[in-house]
């Protein structure tokens, strides 16, 4: 009857909804019964108790009215007694019409007679006082009226007690009814929960068992098992789905059989290409375990692929720096990153380690390819070049010092000894010699920085004082040139950690570079601020700017801007020295510029708390 999966699930759903409806109806019935009990408790006995309480208050005020009549003011006493008489009869009528208990009617009749007698006695009291005097009236009050007054209070107390006890009994019956309702609902709910759970488990398992069978088949297909058949006989949509799935599997299997030879051939070709790569190469899985090693890697690290397959890369390469580089690339989410790493084997070998992350269609990591490009020869050539530059610079230093000393002596000679033309020549020689001396100093410093031989005297220093030193050094020159040199430094900046002299040197180079390319009327602003745990030092000028194609290369050695109508004023070493100094301080330096819009050079240095360096 119910062959489709939707109809079967609907039957189970309707059954569970029916259970919920039964619980709801039972709860509604019990709540109505409980509400009726509570209404009876509140509307019957409580009404009588309220009326009795008011009658007690009224009779007390009437007694006070009698005493006022006798002792204070006759007219006020009569008025007060009459006023409360009306109130007493009003509440008496309420009680008389709300008799709910067995003995309550008899007490109400007694109360009516007693109160009628009480009012008559008050009239008699008035006559006695008028004809026999106050003393006789007081005597009559103490002997007759008080007795009736006490009887009325006793009757009222008895009525109060009867209704109070009845109210307590009703309260107990209501509590019992509430507990019975609660227990019945709990039992019914418990039975419904157990029944619903059992039914849902039974039907869900029955309905979903074929789905699980189909899911297991799909999982096997994912792992490569195409030659299988899923048999499901439920007569519903799942059976139809299984048939189509089996047909798809059959076609896939046939296709795989027809293409497997071609794929294997292509795989072998790719493997042969990877194996023949001249540089060491490894392929890792997501757990950093080796899945492939090429011949160059085997030869360099003296390992065999069959021995280290499925082993961790540290077991094969043994370099923590390589593993850290791979871990960083994987953790950062980058697809590729390079890093130069030195390996010590009979001698030093330098490799440019390129880590490439191969991802699946769902962005999860499939493999990690580690290619090590041997750049040892390039490093050796670079070292030779650096040593050559350093040696040449040292060789130039001695004769250059002699030239500077000689020129200084000549420039201080009296005008009578050498003429004006000769003095101009001496000044030109001095200026060129000083420029050459600066060039030699920059070459030597750059060589030391690149070779790692530069000495850094790092300590905590004030960036404010460093900027003051740099700006003051160029202040007079800027004034002579007509360039406005300003500084903008945030207040409360923390101390910096590093070599203050080298940082000042770097800032001096940036300011000097800006002064070279600014003219009269231009401005240079040095700003300092702390942001995101870094100290940002910017030198902004309003000069001619730098073409976009040179902005990235401006920090390379000997780079000079050609064309664009910009006069070359240097050989391109100053910014290279700045880059190496900032790099040694684990900072960054960059340039932002456009033609005719000035340039901004920014240094970003990390901030270190004192406690972090202890």
pLDDT at residue 540 in the model: 94
Query: How many helices (H) and strands (E) are present in the chain, helices listed first?
Result: 17, 12
The half-sphere exposure of 542 on its side-chain side, counting CA atoms within 13 A, is 12
Q: pLDDT (tens digit, 9 = 90+) per residue, 365-413? A: 888 888 888 787 666 655 555 555 555 555 565 576 667 666 666 666 6
pLDDT at residue 467 in the model: 92
Q: Are 333 and 254 in contact (CB under 8 A)?
A: no
pLDDT of 510 above 70? yes
pLDDT category at 535 given cuts 50, 70, 90 is: very high
In terms of Cα–Cα distance, which of 545, 543, 557 is closest to 515? 543
Which percentage of the chain shows pLDDT scores above 90?
A: 17
Lowest mean pLDDT, pick from 67-71, 205-209, 431-435, 609-613? 609-613
Rounded to an integer, what distance in angstroms lies between the CA atom of residue 515 and that of residue 524? 8
Instruction: State mean pLDDT over 150-157.
Output: 92
Pair of tokens at residue 351:
């490799």
Lowest mean pLDDT, pick from 23-27, 119-123, 210-214, 255-259? 255-259
Distance of CA 418 to the CA centre of its chain: 78
Distance of CA 71 to CAs 22, 64, 141, Å? 73, 10, 12
pLDDT of 571 above 80? no
DSSP notation for 458-511: -EEE-HHHHHHHHHHHHHHHHHHHT-EEEEEE-TTPPPEEE-HHHHHHHHHHHH
Q: Are 448 and 454 in contact (CB under 8 A)?
A: yes
Rounded to an integer, what distance in angstroms lies between the CA atom of residue 492 and that of residue 501? 22
DSSP character at residue 535? E
- Which residue matches tokens 């010092």? 401
pLDDT at residue 58 in the model: 93
pLDDT of 208 above 70? no
* Domain range 5-200, its CATH number among 1.20.1630.10, 1.20.120.1730, 3.40.50.720, 3.90.226.10: 1.20.120.1730
Rounded to an integer, what distance in angstroms lies between the CA atom of residue 316 and that of residue 51? 100
Q: Are 246 and 230 in contact (CB under 8 A)?
A: yes
Instruction: Give the residue with greater pLDDT, 388 vs 147.
Output: 147
DSSP character at residue 364? -
Instruction: State mean pLDDT over 41-67.
Output: 84
Cβ neighbors of 61 (< 8 A, separation 6 or more) are: 80, 84
The length of the chain, given as a count of residues: 614
Instruction: Give the residue with greater pLDDT, 135 vs 228.
Output: 135
pLDDT of 73 above 50? yes
- Which residue matches tokens 């002792």? 71
Pair of tokens at residue 606:
């990390």
Q: 87: buried, middle or exposed (CB in 10 Å: 19+, 13-18, 0-12)?
A: middle
pLDDT at residue 301 in the model: 80
Q: Which of 250-254, 260-264, 334-338, 372-376 has the highest mean pLDDT?
A: 334-338
Rounded to an integer, what distance in angstroms lies between the CA atom of residue 149 and that of residue 210? 90
Q: pLDDT (tens digit, 9 = 90+) per residue, 121-134? A: 989 998 898 888 88
The half-sphere exposure of 225 on its side-chain side, counting CA atoms within 13 A, is 9
Pair of tokens at residue 230:
């899923």
pLDDT category at 568 given cuts 50, 70, 90 is: very low
Taking the domains of the chain in order of start, what are their residue ranges? Answer: 5-200, 277-374, 380-450, 456-613
In terms of Cα–Cα distance, which of 582, 586, 589 is closest to 608? 586
Q: pLDDT (tens digit, 9 = 90+) per residue, 302-354? A: 788 888 788 888 887 777 788 888 888 888 778 888 887 877 777 777 788 88
Instruction: State mean pLDDT over 210-216.
Output: 72
Backbone angles phi, psi at 537, to 5 degrees: -115, 120
Rounded to an integer, what distance in angstroms lies between the CA atom of residue 152 and that of residue 113? 9
Instruction: Give the residue with greater pLDDT, 11 vs 539.
Output: 539
Q: First and final CA of the chain: distance in angstroms?
A: 82
pLDDT of 228 above 80? no
H or E, element range at 136: helix 134-140
- Say whether 369 sits in a helix, a strand or coil: strand
Backbone angles phi, psi at 281, to 5 degrees: -145, 135
Task: Tell me which architecture the domain covering 277-374 has in CATH.
Answer: 2-Layer Sandwich (3.30)
H or E, element range at 344: strand 336-344
pLDDT at residue 608 in the model: 75
Query: What CATH fold (topology level) applies to the domain 456-613?
Result: Heat Shock Protein 90 (3.30.565)
**Average pLDDT value for the chain:** 77
Distance of CA 17 to the CA centre of its chain: 41
- Say whether 339 sits in a helix, a strand or coil: strand
Task: Identify the CATH number of the domain defined by range 380-450.
Answer: 1.10.287.130
pLDDT of 153 above 70? yes
């Amino acid at each position: 009857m119910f062959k489709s999966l939707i109809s079967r699930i609907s039957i189970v759903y309707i059954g569970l909804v029916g259970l919920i409806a039964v619980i709801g109806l039972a709860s509604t019935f019990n709540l109505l019964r409980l509400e009726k009990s509570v209404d009876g408790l509140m509307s019957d006995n409580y009404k009588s108790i309220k009326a009795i309480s008011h009658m007690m208050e009224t009779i007390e005020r009437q007694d006070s009215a009698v005493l006022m009549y006798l002792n204070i003011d006759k007219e006020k006493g009569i008025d007060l007694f009459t006023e409360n008489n009306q109130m007493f009869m009003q509440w008496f009528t309420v009680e008389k019409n709300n008799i709910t208990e067995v003995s309550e009617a008899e007490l109400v009749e007694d109360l009516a007679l007693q109160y009628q007698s009480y009012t008559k006695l008050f009239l008699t009291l008035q006559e006695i006082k008028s004809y026999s005097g106050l003393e006789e009236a007081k005597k009559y009050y103490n002997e007759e009226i008080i007795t009736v007054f006490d009887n009325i209070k006793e009757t009222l107390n008895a009525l109060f007690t009867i209704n109070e006890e009845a109210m307590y009994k009703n309260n107990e019956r209501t509590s019992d009814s509430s507990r019975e309702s609660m227990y019945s609902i709990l039992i019914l709910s418990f039975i419904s929960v157990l029944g619903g759970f059992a039914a849902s488990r039974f039907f869900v398992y029955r309905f979903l068992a074929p789905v699980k069978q189909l899911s297991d088949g799909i999982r096997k297909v994912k792992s490569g098992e195409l030659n299988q058949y899923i048999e499901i006989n439920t007569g519903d949509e799942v059976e139809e789905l299984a048939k189509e799935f089996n047909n798809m599997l059959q076609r896939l299997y046939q296709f795989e059989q027809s293409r497997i030879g071609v794929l294997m051939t292509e795989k072998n070709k790719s493997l042969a290409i990877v194996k023949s790569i001249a540089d060491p190469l490894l392929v890792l899985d997501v757990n950093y375990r080796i899945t492939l090693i090429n011949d160059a890697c085997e030869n360099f690290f003296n390992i065999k692929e069959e021995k280290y397959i499925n082993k961790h890369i540290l077991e094969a390469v043994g370099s923590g720096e390589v593993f850290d580089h791979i871990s960083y690339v994987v953790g950062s989410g980058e697809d590729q990153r390079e890093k130069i790493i030195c390996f010590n084997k009979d001698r030093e070998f330098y490799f440019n380690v390129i880590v490439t992350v191969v991802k699946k269609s769902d962005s999860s990591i499939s493999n990690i390819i580690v290619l090590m490009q041997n750049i040892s020869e390039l490093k050796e050539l670079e070292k030779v070049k650096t040593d050559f530059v350093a040696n040449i610079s040292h060789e130039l230093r001695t004769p250059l010092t002699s030239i500077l000393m000689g020129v200084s002596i000549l420039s201080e000679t009296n005008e009578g000894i050498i003429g004006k033309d000769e003095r101009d020549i001496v000044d030109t020689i001095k200026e060129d010699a000083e420029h050459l001396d600066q060039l030699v100093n920059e070459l030597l410093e750059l060589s030391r920085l690149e070779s790692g031989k530069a000495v850094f005297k790092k300590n905590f220093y004030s960036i404010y004082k460093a900027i003051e030193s740099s700006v003051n050094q160029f202040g007079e020159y800027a004034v002579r040139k007509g360039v406005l040199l300003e500084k903008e430094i945030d207040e409360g900046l923390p101390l910096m950690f590093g070599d203050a002299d080298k940082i000042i040197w770097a800032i001096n180079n940036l300011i000097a570079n800006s002064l070279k390319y600014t003219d009269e009327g231009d401005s240079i602003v040095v700003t300092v601020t702390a942001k995101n745990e870094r100290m940002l030092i910017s030198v902004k000028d309003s000069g001619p700017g730098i073409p976009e194609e040179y902005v990235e290369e401006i920090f390379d050695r000997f780079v000079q801007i050609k064309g664009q109508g910009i006069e070359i004023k240097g050989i391109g070493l100053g910014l290279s020295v700045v880059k190496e100094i900032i790099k040694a301080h684990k900072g960054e330096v960059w340039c932002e510029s456009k033609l005719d819009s000035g340039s901004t050079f920014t240094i970003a240095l990390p901030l270190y708390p004192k406690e972090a360096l202890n």
